[in-house]
Every structure is written in structure tokens, then in C-alpha cells.
């Protein structure tokens, strides 16, 4: 195997960018480690990426925008579920939910009982614990893809 060592890479136009379609690590299940901001620690690129995100209108599960989500379902007032396009590797992932609804204070959470490798579910209520649809719900999911 050959090794190429360079100090600077420039395209013919002088720009220092490389256009590629796929990047794969050489070891550790093809993981790629990135040097952190301080210059001494590293972070695993795959572990640090968001694996799913979505924004939806809760009253009808209308998805405004999303990544790695195949559908959303209105399960009732303040209750919405969604399915991932690509399943998670296990159900130990972490979904963070937040929501807004104008002048109302809302909280949003999800239930471990509803969480599967194929999807998740969140519940919303007003600050006084009254179940209600939030205007918009925002979700990000971190974990391992299958």
C-alpha cells in the first residue's frame, strides 16, 4: 500500500477543497475520528452526527421538514408518532423534543414504552399539565443506525 503525504492540497483553480462522494475510515468499523477544537482530543464523526430530525405541526402531524423520517402520525391530542426511514441499531438512542405554541408554555416528552428501532413518539402538554397540541414540535435523534 502507498502513502501520500502533503502539506497543502490545491485544485487547479487554487481552491483547497476536495470533492468526494464517499468517505470511509480505514479501521474501527470504518469510523472516522476528527481532532477536536482544542487540538489534542478526538471525536468519532459517526457518533456525533444527528441520525434523525423533524419539524411538524402537531395538530395534524404535517411534517414541515425532516431527515431520515418516512412518516408521522397524529395519535390524538398532544400525541404524535413517527417512523424512521432507516432504523436505529437499538432502542437506546436519545430523542430530544421541544415545542412551541405562541404565548402558551408547553412541555414535550416521549415514553420509553413507545420507543422502537423503527420509530418514536412524543407527548405535549401545557405548563399546567393539560394535554394539548403544540403548534410546532422539533425533534432530534442521536444514536446508532442499524
pLDDT (tens digit, 9 = 90+) per residue, 83-124? Answer: 999 999 999 999 998 888 876 667 767 666 778 999 999 988
pLDDT score of 103: 65
Residue 24 maps to a domain: no
pLDDT score of 139: 94
How many domains, in total, are found in the chain? 1
pLDDT at 81 over 80: yes
Which residue did the predictor score with more confidence, 6 or 94?
A: 94
Residue 33 maps to a domain: no
- Give me the residues paired with residue 96 across strands: 140
**Whole-number average pLDDT of the chain:** 85
Residue 96 maps to a domain: yes
Cα–Cα distance measured from residue 67 to residue 140, given in angstroms and rounded to the nearest whole number: 9
Cα–Cα distance measured from residue 5 to residue 119, given in angstroms and rounded to the nearest whole number: 44
Residue 98 maps to a domain: yes
Residue 138 maps to a domain: yes
> Domain limits at 60?
50-142
* 145's grid cell: 443506525
Amino acid at each position: 500500500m502507498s502513502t501520500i503525504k502533503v502539506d497543502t492540497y490545491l485544485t487547479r483553480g487554487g481552491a483547497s477543497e476536495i470533492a468526494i462522494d464517499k468517505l470511509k475510515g480505514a479501521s474501527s468499523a470504518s469510523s472516522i475520528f476528527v481532532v477536536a477544537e482544542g487540538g489534542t482530543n478526538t471525536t468519532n464523526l459517526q457518533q456525533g452526527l444527528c441520525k434523525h430530525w423533524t419539524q411538524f405541526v402537531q395538530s395534524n402531524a404535517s411534517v414541515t421538514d425532516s431527515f431520515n423520517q418516512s412518516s408521522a402520525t397524529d395519535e390524538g391530542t398532544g400525541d404524535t408518532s413517527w417512523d424512521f426511514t432507516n432504523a436505529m441499531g437499538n432502542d437506546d438512542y436519545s430523542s430530544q423534543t421541544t415545542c412551541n405554541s405562541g404565548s402558551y408554555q408547553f412541555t414535550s416528552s416521549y415514553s420509553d414504552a413507545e420507543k422502537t428501532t423503527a420509530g418514536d413518539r412524543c407527548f405535549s402538554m401545557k405548563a399546567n399539565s393539560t394535554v394539548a397540541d403544540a403548534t410546532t414540535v422539533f425533534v432530534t435523534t442521536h444514536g446508532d443506525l442499524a
